[in-house]
């Protein structure tokens, strides 16, 4: 046979595809659904994540914030000017405490001042005003915007005058919520927003004033119009940390712990779902294409006997593979884009999702290339098998391929099929490249591909061990078992039946589907806890020791309060020594040394609500030693770890506390405001003030403020209800989207696995013919196959679910989420896998029973 042109090879490939449409349906279906899941999940999650990050920015009002406790030095100001010259927008927010009074009565009141430039502030989000309108329209050099509790305390209304410093200002509106309410100062006193010009005119910014400065930064968008990258924000943050060593610098991802954790976990899960969709599609392709090429061995042998070379035949099937991958990929992209655009409308009834999701060409191209590449990669091994097909051996290929023991077969594969090993390495590299692209991380790509190979190897070994165990079981119990059961079990290791490969493929599919379910279930449960509707949204400051019981009774009787209050004792203290180094010589990280002179201590026997121990261990009840637990971020700033020693001074008492635990708070509870937690005995006898947190109906917080002011006028009420409702709404959005996309990925995976099982129907044709020729009835054959399918599903389900629980536990530990073994879902998944295998196997194979042996043999 002469040279075979690509045109001729393509014609032969297309003709064969047309004559075997049923067989190729499973290949195209696997590719299409895999690409659809990949494109739909990745495209929607990318758009949704961008929307969430914009919400996170609006909660901070900027991309970054730098809090300073004094005015910048000339050198620092020069550096800030250089940053502004590079295109970064900067606006300062000055915060300080001052006395204000009503112009009519001159009643003094301590207020929390916040001076902003209304033409720039906020960079993201809006300041919500009770009377409506924009902040820039009402806040002028001679006006102020105040919180509702200031009107209550001074008996004023909008339009009245307020004296601040030496100047009178007209109250222009009432502020309901500010975007950066959670990242601003929680100082005592009602809030007053004022322009920077107004603050300067008031005379309060005298030299030596204790005004705090917070700079907000907005990173410019790229000229291409793309979203601001995390790398650009991280670069600016690193530059600011170097320029302002004593400033506290945070970016929009650190605004609220619940939101940050939700974003991080959602991003990790959505990337996992994309990778799972990719692998499930690859499993379907590999199973269906291998079944097809096994069926074509007779044709290949005949072509070789007529003079065709292996390279020419491989060219035909390579083009066929590429064509299948392209058709399946295009169909999958179309389905994926439709899914991506449909998601917002399907979710609209559950959450307020912005439906302005555009088609992302990068995602479309990635999905198409991934579909074609995985199809090609996973058909390389069976394509390379074409080289070993010899006409003289075609009739005994099944026996020759399966009579050797498992170890011998593996050794023969290694010694005689180096090209197969090269194909496996190529598959590994290709998967690593695709995983890297999907996860935007080379580390994730490497770990994912190596982990996949390791799990696949273990699954193959486990599958082979199970089959060997079944064979041994049958050898010992054969006389005592019904013949149908014996035949069904024996079918799992009959010559020509790729049970080990099918068990490994099904096991991996079940493992990945179950892993997605277990991880998303645990993450969503955790997010629901952090978005619970009864978390504190009103905080109380400076409750005297003799007022605690009365405040607790008042809160219990208020109709607007919907949950029991959280009250914590606070002892004022200072740090004088860290691990033997005096406080004024300590090396701190973005933490001003003067802050060491004013810290808050509290006590608790148990881990406070909303707090997790990240390192070390919490003390037991009745602890008599001086030990301390502190937040891990605070520990990083102070340069301490478990085992370090911190010397505190409170009043005339000094105590050396050993760090025994580093914690992480969700920021949603009153104890989140405590910096250092000690046992009760360590702080016994020291003067105490109390802080509190309570959940109140956001619409009736004003009633609670009035009641508290009337009974306890010295207690400061800080209302963050609206701000926390915003965070809660975003977290709830995240949970719904995670559940929805996980359900879609799981459904796609089930369809792909079903098509993989269905693709093996052609392997059973010869056996049905032999059994019918020997006189077997349809009922007997149906019973044998049903037992084979059920055992196959149970074994694959057991192996896959076992690995899924192990992997889920590891992943959840990395995400700092609690893992719980779920018996009911595990049992349901096991039975479901068996049912899916039986139903799918028969859905694809029932027609075989109705065919006459002669018809089948003619087709063969």
Q: Is the same domain home to 209 and 309?
A: no
pLDDT at 829: 85
Decide: residue 276, CB within 10 A, 0-12 exposed, 13-18 middle, 19+ buried: buried
The residue-averaged pLDDT of 789-810 equals: 82
Q: Look up residue 359 and give its DSSP letter.
A: P
Cβ neighbours of residue 262 closer than 8 Å, sequence gap 6 or more:
527, 530, 730, 731, 734, 735
Residue 144 confidence (pLDDT) above 90: yes
Question: What span, in angstroms and rounded, lies between the C-alpha atoms of 263 and 240?
Answer: 24
Residue 91 covered by a domain? yes
Question: What span, in angstroms and rounded, lies between the C-alpha atoms of 796 and 459?
Answer: 9
Question: What span, in angstroms and rounded, lies between the C-alpha atoms of 704 and 698?
Answer: 10
Q: Is the same domain home to 241 and 310?
A: no
pLDDT at 233: 86
Residue 402 confidence (pLDDT) above 50: no
| Least confident piece of the model among 233-237, 251-255, 445-449, 488-492 | 445-449
pLDDT at 400: 45
Residue 161 covered by a domain? yes
pLDDT band with cut points at 50, 70 and 90 for residue 362: confident
Domain-terminating residue out of 259, 276, 303: 259
Q: Is the same domain home to 206 and 338?
A: no
pLDDT at 417: 58
Question: What span, in angstroms and rounded, lies between the C-alpha atoms of 64 and 243?
Answer: 14
Question: Residue 795 is inside which H or E element, if any?
Answer: helix 778-814
Domain region containing 591: 538-723
Residue 395 confidence (pLDDT) above 80: no
**Report for 437-441, 688-692, 748-752: range of highest mean pLDDT:** 688-692
**Report for 61-70, 267-276, 485-494: range of highest mean pLDDT:** 61-70
| Least confident piece of the model among 142-146, 240-244, 532-536 | 532-536
Residue 196 confidence (pLDDT) above 80: yes
Domain-terminating residue out of 259, 291, 309: 259
The residue-averaged pLDDT of 642-646 equals: 91
Residue 334 confidence (pLDDT) above 70: yes
Looking up tokens 């970054």 gives 64
In this prediction, what percent of the chain has a pLDDT beyond 90? 6
pLDDT at 858: 52
Residue 287 confidence (pLDDT) above 70: no
The residue-averaged pLDDT of 272-292 equals: 68
The residue-averaged pLDDT of 784-803 equals: 81
CA distances from 268 to 263, 446, 728 (A): 9, 16, 20
Looking up tokens 């449960």 gives 525
Q: Is the same domain home to 822 and 674?
A: no
Question: What span, in angstroms and rounded, lies between the C-alpha atoms of 821 and 818?
Answer: 10
pLDDT at 406: 43
pLDDT at 486: 75
CA distances from 383 to 156, 425, 810 (A): 84, 15, 36
241 within 8 A of 255, measured Cβ to Cβ: no
Q: Is the same domain home to 112 and 124?
A: yes
Q: How many domains does the chain have?
A: 3
Q: Is the same domain home to 469 and 587?
A: no
Domain-terminating residue out of 723, 744, 761: 723
Residue 786 covered by a domain? yes
The residue-averaged pLDDT of 540-561 equals: 86
- Write b or e for each residue in 379-418: b if 16 or more Cβ atoms lie within 10 A of its Cβ, otherwise e: bbbbbbbbeebeeeebeebbeebbeeeeeeeeeeeeeebe
720 within 8 A of 539, measured Cβ to Cβ: yes
Identify any residues that bridge with 655 across adjacent strands, giving them in sequence order.
Answer: 648
Residue 1 covered by a domain? no
CA distances from 710 to 479, 546, 703 (A): 90, 17, 11
Residue 109 covered by a domain? yes
pLDDT at 757: 64
- Quickly list DSSP for 163-209: EETTEEEEEEEEEEE-TTTTTS---SS-EEEEEHHHHHHHT---TT-
291 or 580, which is more confident: 580
Residue 106 covered by a domain? yes
Question: What span, in angstroms and rounded, lies between the C-alpha atoms of 377 and 286?
Answer: 9
**What is the number of other CB atoms lying within 10 angstroms of the CB of residue 519?**
26
pLDDT at 723: 67
In this prediction, what percent of the chain has a pLDDT beyond 70? 74
13 or 236, which is more confident: 236
Residue 745 confidence (pLDDT) above 80: no
Beta pairing class for 143-147 and 191-195? antiparallel
740 within 8 A of 348, measured Cβ to Cβ: no
pLDDT at 17: 72
Task: Give the pLDDT confidence of 488-524 residue by residue, as tens digits.
Answer: 777 666 655 556 666 777 777 788 788 888 888 888 7
pLDDT at 801: 87
Residue 127 covered by a domain? yes
Long-range contacts of 80-88 (CB under 8 A, 24+ apart): 80/215, 80/243, 83/217, 83/236, 83/239, 83/240, 83/243, 87/220, 88/217, 88/218, 88/219, 88/220, 88/236
Reduced DSSP (H G I as helix, E B as strand, rest coil) percent helix, strand, coil of the chain, to 5: 60, 15, 25
Task: Give the pLDDT confidence of 229-243 residue by residue, as tens digits.
Answer: 778 888 898 899 888
Residue 200 confidence (pLDDT) above 90: no
pLDDT at 403: 47
pLDDT at 693: 85
Cβ neighbours of residue 189 closer than 8 Å, sequence gap 6 or more:
97, 109, 110, 111, 112, 716
**Report for 255-259, 479-483, 635-639: range of highest mean pLDDT:** 635-639
Q: Is the same domain home to 718 and 781?
A: no
Q: Is the same domain home to 771 and 704?
A: no
**What is the number of other CB atoms lying within 10 angstroms of the CB of residue 577?**
18
Question: What span, in angstroms and rounded, lies between the C-alpha atoms of 94 and 115?
Answer: 5
Task: Give the pLDDT confidence of 819-828 residue by residue, as tens digits.
Answer: 888 888 888 8
551 within 8 A of 566, measured Cβ to Cβ: no
Q: Is the same domain home to 719 and 639?
A: yes
782 or 150, which is more confident: 150
Task: Give the pLDDT confidence of 16-60 residue by residue, as tens digits.
Answer: 777 666 667 767 777 787 788 777 777 777 777 777 777 778 778
**Planar angle of CA 73, 79, 84, nearest 5 degrees:** 125
The residue-averaged pLDDT of 73-90 equals: 89
**Entry field: residues in the chain:** 860
Q: Look up residue 561 and give its DSSP letter.
A: B
Residue 776 covered by a domain? yes
Residue 573 confidence (pLDDT) above 80: yes
The residue-averaged pLDDT of 575-599 equals: 81
Question: Residue 368 is inside which H or E element, if any?
Answer: helix 361-385
194 within 8 A of 66, measured Cβ to Cβ: no
Identify any residues that bridge with 575 across adjacent strands, giving them in sequence order.
Answer: 648
Supply 510's token pair. Answer: 């079940």
Q: Is the same domain home to 355 and 472?
A: yes
Q: Is the same domain home to 255 and 267?
A: no
For 526-674, list the strands marked E by DSSP: 538-544, 566-578, 581-582, 599-603, 611-616, 627-631, 645-650, 653-665
Q: Is the same domain home to 747 and 802?
A: yes
Cβ neighbours of residue 245 closer than 8 Å, sequence gap 6 or more:
590
């Amino acid at each position: 046979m002469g040279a075979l042109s690509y045109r001729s090879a393509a014609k032969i490939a297309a003709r064969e595809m047309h004559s075997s449409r049923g067989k190729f349906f499973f290949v195209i279906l696997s590719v299409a659904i895999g690409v659809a899941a990949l494109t739909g999940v990745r495209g929607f999650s990318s758009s949704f994540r961008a929307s969430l990050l914009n919400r996170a920015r609006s909660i901070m009002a900027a991309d970054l914030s730098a809090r300073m406790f004094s005015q910048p030095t000339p050198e620092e100001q020069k550096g800030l000017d250089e940053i502004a010259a590079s295109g970064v927008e900067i606006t300062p927010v000055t915060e300080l405490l001052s006395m204000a009074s009503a112009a009519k009565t001159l009643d003094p009141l301590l207020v929390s001042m916040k001076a902003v430039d209304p033409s720039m502030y906020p960079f993201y989000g809006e300041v919500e005003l009770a009377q409506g309108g924009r902040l820039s329209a009402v806040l002028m050099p001679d006006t102020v915007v105040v919180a509702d509790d200031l009107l209550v305390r001074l008996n004023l209304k909008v339009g009245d005058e307020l004296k601040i410093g030496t100047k009178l200002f007209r109250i222009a509106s009432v502020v309901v919520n500010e975007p950066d309410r959670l990242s601003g100062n929680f100082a005592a006193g009602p809030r007053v927003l004022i322009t920077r010009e107004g603050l300067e005119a008031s005379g309060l910014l005298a030299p030596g004033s204790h005004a705090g400065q917070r700079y907000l930064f907005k990173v410019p968008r790229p000229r291409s119009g793309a979203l601001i990258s995390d790398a650009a924000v991280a670069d600016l943050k690193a530059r600011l940390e170097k320029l302002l060593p004593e400033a506290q610098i945070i970016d929009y991802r650190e605004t609220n712990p619940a939101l940050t954790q939700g974003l991080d976990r959602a991003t990790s899960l959505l990337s996992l779902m994309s990778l799972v969709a990719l692998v499930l599609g690859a499993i379907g392709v590999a199973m269906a294409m291998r079944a097809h090429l096994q069926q074509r061995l007779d044709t290949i042998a005949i072509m070789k006997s007529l003079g065709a070379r292996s390279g020419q035949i491989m060219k035909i099937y390579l083009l066929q593979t590429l064509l299948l991958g392209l058709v399946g990929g295009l169909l999958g992209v179309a389905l994926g884009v439709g899914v991506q655009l449909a998601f917002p409308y399907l979710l609209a009834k559950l959450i307020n999702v912005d439906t302005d999701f555009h088609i992302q060409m990068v995602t479309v191209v990635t999905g198409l290339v991934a579909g074609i590449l995985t199809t090609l990669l996973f058909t390389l091994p069976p394509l390379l098998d074409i080289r070993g097909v010899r006409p003289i051996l075609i009739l005994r290929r099944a026996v020759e391929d399966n009579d050797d023991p498992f170890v011998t077969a593996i050794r023969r594969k290694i010694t005689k099929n180096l090209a197969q090993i090269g194909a496996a390495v190529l598959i590994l590299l290709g998967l690593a490249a695709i995983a890297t692209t999907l996860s935007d991380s080379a580390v994730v790509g490497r770990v994912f591909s190596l982990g996949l190979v390791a799990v696949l190897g273990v699954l193959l070994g486990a599958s082979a061990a199970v089959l060997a165990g079944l064979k041994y079981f049958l050898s010992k119990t054969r006389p005592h078992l019904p013949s149908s059961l014996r035949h069904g079990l024996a079918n799992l290791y009959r010559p020509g039946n790729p049970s080990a490969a099918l068990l490994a493929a099904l096991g991996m599919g079940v493992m990945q589907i179950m892993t997605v379910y277990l991880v998303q279930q645990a993450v969503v449960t955790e997010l629901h806890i952090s978005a619970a509707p009864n978390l504190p949204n009103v905080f109380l400051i400076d409750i005297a020791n003799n007022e605690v019981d009365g405040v607790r009774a008042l809160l219990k009787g208020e109709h607007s309060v919907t949950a029991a209050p959280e009250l914590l004792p606070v002892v004022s203290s200072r740090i004088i020594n860290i691990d033997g180094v005096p406080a004024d010589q300590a090396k701190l990280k973005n933490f001003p040394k003067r802050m060491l002179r004013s810290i808050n201590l509290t006590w608790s026997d148990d881990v406070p609500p909303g707090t997790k121990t990240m390192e070390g261990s919490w003390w037991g009840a009745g602890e008599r030693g001086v030990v301390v637990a502190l937040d891990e971020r605070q520990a990083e700033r102070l340069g301490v770890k478990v085992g370090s020693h911190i010397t505190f001074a409170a009043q005339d008492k000094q105590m050396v506390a050993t760090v025994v635990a580093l914690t992480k708070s969700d920021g949603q509870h009153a104890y989140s405001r405590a910096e250092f937690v000690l046992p009760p005995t360590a702080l016994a006898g020291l003067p105490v003030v109390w802080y509190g947190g309570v959940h109140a109906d956001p619409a009736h917080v004003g009633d609670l403020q009035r009641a508290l002011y009337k009974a306890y006028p010295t207690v400061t009420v800080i209302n963050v209800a609206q701000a926390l409702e915003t965070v809660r709404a975003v977290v709830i959005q995240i949970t719904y989207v995670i559940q929805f996309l996980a359900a879609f990925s799981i459904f796609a995976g089930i369809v792909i696995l079903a098509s993989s099982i269905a693709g093996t129907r052609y392997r059973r044709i010869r056996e049905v013919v032999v059994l019918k020729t020997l006189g077997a009835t349809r009922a007997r054959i149906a019973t044998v196959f049903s037992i084979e399918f059920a055992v196959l599903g149970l074994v694959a389900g057991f192996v896959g679910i076992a690995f899924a629980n192990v992997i889920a536990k590891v992943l959840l530990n990395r995400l700092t989420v609690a893992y719980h073994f779920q018996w009911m879902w595990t049992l349901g998944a096991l039975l479901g896998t068996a049912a899916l295998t039986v139903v799918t196997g028969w859905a694809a194979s029932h027609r075989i029973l109705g065919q006459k042996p002669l018809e089948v043999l003619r087709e063969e």
